[in-house]
Amino acid sequence: MQTILYARVSTADQTIDHQRAQAEAAGIQIDRVIEDDGVSGVKTAFADRPGGARLLDVVREGDVVIVRWVDRLGRDYADVTDTIRALMRKGVIVRTVINRMTFDGSTDDPMQAAVRDALIGFMAATAQAHAEATKAAQAAGIAHAK
C-alpha cells in the first residue's frame, strides 16, 4: 500500500510544492507524488493528462490517493465523479486535504453507499460551479481590458 499525492497546477503562480506542503501540514505522509504541471483542469480530462493517466495506471488495491480537493480529479462534474468511482472500483481510497473527506468503495451498506455517492456528486458539482464562475470572471476581465 502506498500513499500517492496527485497534484495539478495550470499556471505559473501555482506550485506543486504548495499542494504537497498542505498535505504534509495536515499530517499526511506521502510515499509518492504524481503531478501535472501546466495542465488545464478545465480543458483536459483527467485520463488525458500525463499524470492522471499515470496515476490510473499505477494505483493498486489498498493505495490511498491524496488530492488538495476533488477538482484536481477532473475537468467537470462527470469527469470528477467518473474518476473517483474508477479509483474506488480498483479498491483505492481517495482523500482530500482541504476538507478531509475520504471516499472508498468498501461499504456494503446501501445507505452508506448512497450517502457517499451523494457527497461525491455534491462536491463535484461544487467544483464545477467554481470552475464556471472562474471562467466567467476571467472572460469578463478580458472583455473589460479590451
State the catalytic residues: 10
What's the order of all strands across the beta sheet hosting 3-9?
32-37, 3-9, 64-67, 93-96, 102-103
CA gap 129, 80 in Å, rounded = 13
CA gap 52, 45 in Å, rounded = 9
Radius of gyration, alpha carbons of the chain: 16
Please give the backbone phi and psi of residue 108, each rounded to the nearest 5 degrees, phi first.
-105, -5
- Extract the C-alpha cell encoding 77: 462534474
DSSP letters, 36-67, are EES--TTTS-GGGSHHHHHHHHH--TT-EEEE
